[in-house]
Amino acid sequence: MLEKYFIVLCTAALLSAEGIPEQQERIIGGDYVPIEDVPWQVALLRNEKHFCGGSIYNQRVILTAAHCVKGKKLRGLSVRAGSALKNFGGQLVSVDRVILHQDYVSSTDTLENDIAVLFLASPLELGPTVQPIKLAEESPEPGTNVLVTGWGALHDRPFLFFKEILLRTILTIVDRNECFEAYIADNFAIPVNATCAYAIGRGACRLDSGGPVVTLHPQRLIGIVSGVHTCAGELPEFHTDVAALKEWIINTVETYYRHK
């Protein structure tokens, strides 16, 4: 079962409800990052309780992982922007609509097109702590360093150690073929539209799902935290490849506003 191998980076309750790979939600081996350094980061909240991360695409659009919001009712769903504290400060805005990728697949052997677009009920007020991030034009090359941020678990098991403050860590993109070979032994196929990243003793964990993966120079959204075998374990974690799905993102946003 996929749940045996993966932490899809949401709460255990949300994961088991969807029957998707076990995902983890917190940064392991990271340090505090001021929201001014990553103003595109948002916390996804359900009934004002954090369960995933997201990235600001524009004042009314947030990008996150499909597995974070699949099957979730809009009532009580909101985002907090402009704060390094997941449950306090910044701007709290309700989500008006959720659109999942039409080819999103979550099964026991893969997790394809793990991306969703959230449309907010009212626009965010942009400023030093609230800013959109540009999308990557190309998929990252192996050896590229990327920034991963979130409010997820600090340890693998048990998932009992969570902090209120936003954390960051640096991972390195690894060769996709090597990543594929590492996972195929567990009968899991790395998604077609995904990249892999790794660092010894560091990485995303439970509740980091849906959060941003960003290149350093220039700062571009290269990925969305999706899944991992074990938090900061021996295998790379994998992220939804934003460059590969850029056209879908743009078309989804444009179509929504065209028919609104």
Helix (H) or strand (E) holding 251: helix 246-259
Catalytic residue among 55, 83, 106, 209: 209
CA dihedral 175, 179, 182, 184 (to 10 degrees): -130
Number of C-beta neighbours around residue 171 at 10 A: 24
Domains 39-131+246-258 and 133-242 share a fold: yes
Count Cβ atoms below 10 Å from residue 259 Cβ, excluding itself: 6
209 is catalytic: yes
Residue 96 has pLDDT above 50, yes or no: yes
pLDDT confidence bin for 112, thresholds 50/70/90: very high
Selecting among 67, 101, 229, 239, the annotated active-site residue is: 67
Tell me the C-alpha distance between 41 and 208, whole Å: 11
The answer to whether residue 106 is catalytic is: no
Residues with Cβ within 8 Å of 10's Cβ and at least 6 positions away in sequence, in order, are 23, 25, 51, 52, 67, 68, 206, 207, 209, 210
Rounded to 5 degrees, φ, ψ at 259 are: -105, 5
Over residues 200-222, mean pLDDT: 91
What pLDDT digit, counting tens, does each position of 5-36 carry?
A: 344 444 332 332 233 333 333 466 678 999 99
Proportion of the chain above pLDDT 70, given as a percent: 84
Query: Taking the complete model, does pTM exceed 0.85, yes or no?
Result: yes
Annotated domain spans of the chain: 39-131+246-258, 133-242
Residue of 50, 78, 101, 114 marked catalytic: 114
Distance CA 86, CA 50 (A): 6
**Mean pLDDT over all residues of the chain?**
85
Cα 168 from chain centroid (whole Å): 13
In the structure encoding, which two tokens stand for residue 176, read together? Answer: 């996709």
pLDDT, mean of residues 217-238: 88
Question: Which of the listed CATH numbers 3.40.640.10, 2.40.10.10, 2.40.400.10, 2.40.30.10 matches domain 39-131+246-258?
Answer: 2.40.10.10
Query: Can you give the pLDDT at residue 259?
Result: 81
How high is the pLDDT of residue 145?
Answer: 97
Q: Any catalytic annotation for residue 122?
A: no
- The fraction of the chain above a pLDDT of 90, given in percent, is 67
Residue 18 is predicted with a pLDDT of: 32
| CATH ID of 133-242, from 1.10.357.10, 2.40.10.10, 3.40.50.300, 1.10.10.10 | 2.40.10.10
User: Residue 162's pLDDT is what?
Assistant: 54
